[in-house]
Amino acid sequence: MSEFSILLPSVLNGITTGALYALVALGLTLIYGVLHIINFAHGSLLMLALYGVYFLAAGFDIGPYQALVFMPAAMFAVGYVLQRFVIGKASHDRDENILLVTLGLSIVIENLALYFFRSDTRVVDTPWSFETVELLGAFLPLPKVIAFFGALATAAALWVLMTRTDLGKAIRAVAKERKGARLVGIDVDHVFAMSFGIGIACLGIAACLLMPSYYVTPQVGHGFVLIAFTIVVLGGMGSFVGALIGGLFIGVVESLGGLFLGESLGQIGIFAIFILILLFRPTGLLGHKV
């Protein structure tokens, strides 16, 4: 009984955190699956989105959940423009160039953030930040429960987009067969930019869901990006279902790791998994699929 009463809250907590990780990883895996690039700027763009949520709250009194109306669209626009006019143009179709471009972008964004926002830790206080929900005898923070359902809803919406709309089908077509796509009249550069934009819009949603129970600094993206890479590798590069399950799994591993090894060592379990997967199952636990 006592074992269970310690483990259960920890597992549930891990699942709620993991859903947000999954959301960040979904964007990363979408971009990888379509453009075949690893977006090193993913963490800094999440940071940018978190500042967006912070300033909407601090400057305009727009709460994090109200910000859901603006942030996904704003981040989508940032992603679309970045891919169409910066990454796509600067890389001249060479994958190693794209890698350097996204890495360079992350450094630029981070340093601009340091310059303009300084390294202070900022939070958004809401009246319900510390409210809890009781589930199976465990008390979970309300913002994390909301984030969990928000992340699942986003994943479901993304699935509908990818399987039921012409845009989604075009994205999947371009991922595997660019020449065929051009010959049915798909504007490949536009579809690339849409994919990047949608991946970054996921970060806009994640930022709104995350901010009530988290904080923002210019470096806040680092922790997320390593976790997201682990999830993407774990779930199979480019796999949606893999990213979702991988995210939840990593959330639980982190939470249980924290319980048994202490907060500061909790993440070691994640990187152990990362290395083990790369060594023994480089295609991911669920294989490879877009």
Partner 1 sequence: MLEVTGLRAGYGEVEILRGVDMAIEPLEIVALLGSNGAGKTTFNAVLSGLNRPTAGGVVFEGRDIAGLDPVAIVEAGLVQVPEGRHVFPNLSVRENLELGGYRRGRANRKSNLERVVAIFPRLRERMDQKAGTLSGGEQQMLAIGRGMMSEPKLLVLDEPSLGLSPMLVEEMFALIGRLNGEGLTILLVEQNVRQSLEIAARAFVMENGAVSLSGPAGELMRDPQLQRSYLGI
Binding site for partner 1 (CB under 8 A): 166, 169-170, 172-173, 175-177, 179-187, 289-290
Distance CA(239)–CA(250), nearest Å, equals 16
Report, in Å, the least distance between residue 112 CB and partner 1: 35
Are the beta carbons of 37 and 101 closer than 8 angstroms?
no
Shorter beta-carbon distance to partner 1: residue 125 or 166: 166
Shorter beta-carbon distance to partner 1: residue 137 or 185: 185
Distance CA(67)–CA(252), nearest Å, equals 28
Shorter beta-carbon distance to partner 1: residue 239 or 255: 239
Residue whose structure tokens are 């930019």: 193
Are the beta carbons of 175 and 10 closer than 8 angstroms?
no
Shorter beta-carbon distance to partner 1: residue 142 or 167: 167
Distance CA(278)–CA(238), nearest Å, equals 15
Report, in Å, the least distance between residue 239 CB and partner 1: 12
Report, in Å, the least distance between residue 15 CB and partner 1: 30
Shorter beta-carbon distance to partner 1: residue 1 or 184: 184
Distance CA(155)–CA(59), nearest Å, equals 30
Report, in Å, the least distance between residue 248 CB and partner 1: 25
Report, in Å, the least distance between residue 165 CB and partner 1: 10
Which helix or strand (DSSP H or E) is residue 129 part of? none
Distance CA(16)–CA(14), nearest Å, equals 5
